[in-house]
Each structure stands twice: as C-alpha cells, then as structure tokens.
Amino acid sequence: MSTRRSGAGVGVLNGLLYAVGGHDGPLVRKSVEMYDASANTWKQVADMNMCRRNAGVCAVNGLLYVAGGDDGSCNLASVEYYNPTLDKWILLPQCMSTGRSYAGVTVIDKPL
C-alpha cells in the first residue's frame, strides 16, 4: 500500500481487495487503493467524492458501496459507490436518515 491509513474501510469486489479512505493522523483521506493478490500488487484507483474514515463497505452487483463514516468533524449520512469498469465513484442522491461511523454493513440477499 502506498499510503498510510488507519480506520480505512475494506471490501472485496471481483476478487480484489479495496482499502477505502481512512486517516493518517488528522488528515482524513478520500483516496482508495486496490490489492490484487494474484499479482501481489497495490494500485491507486479513483478517489471517492468525500473524505471518509471508519465507513462501512460492501459489494453488491459488481459495485463497491461505502456508507457513512466521518470526515474528521462529523458523522456522514452519505453513501457512494465505485464502478470499477468506469473507475469512478458516484454519490447516491439519497442519504441515510442519520450520520453513522463505525457501522458494519453486509449483504444478506443480493437484489436482482
């Protein structure tokens, strides 16, 4: 990994591990790195729209979602997703009703 980060969200999409956001001291990051275990390499991918640490991350239908977290001053209610085909993060127009940090997320039944 090229960037030190604590409190990063972690998710697996298409067999690749993503380290999302996090912080290095007071600096909260929006950067994202992807680890390919078969090649034993890290690669920088597109930055998120918002700086986040302690966010929940999960993969659904080929997209990587990040929910909540905090930006260093307040808990976030926003959700965004990463499309690996476009190498782009897209912010959802809907937010959670309450900002959350350290939330755990999982997918039980994949929507069709």
Q: Is the pLDDT of residue 109 over 80?
A: no
- Residue 94's pLDDT is 94
- Residue 57's pLDDT is 97
- Residue 110's pLDDT is 64
Q: Is the pLDDT of residue 101 over 90?
A: yes
Long-range CB pairs of 37-44, under 8 A, 24+ apart, other chains included: 42/1, 42/2, 44/2
d(CA 57, CA 80): 10
Per-residue tokens: 44? 């920088």
Q: How confident is the model at residue 112 (pLDDT cuts 50, 70, 90)?
A: low
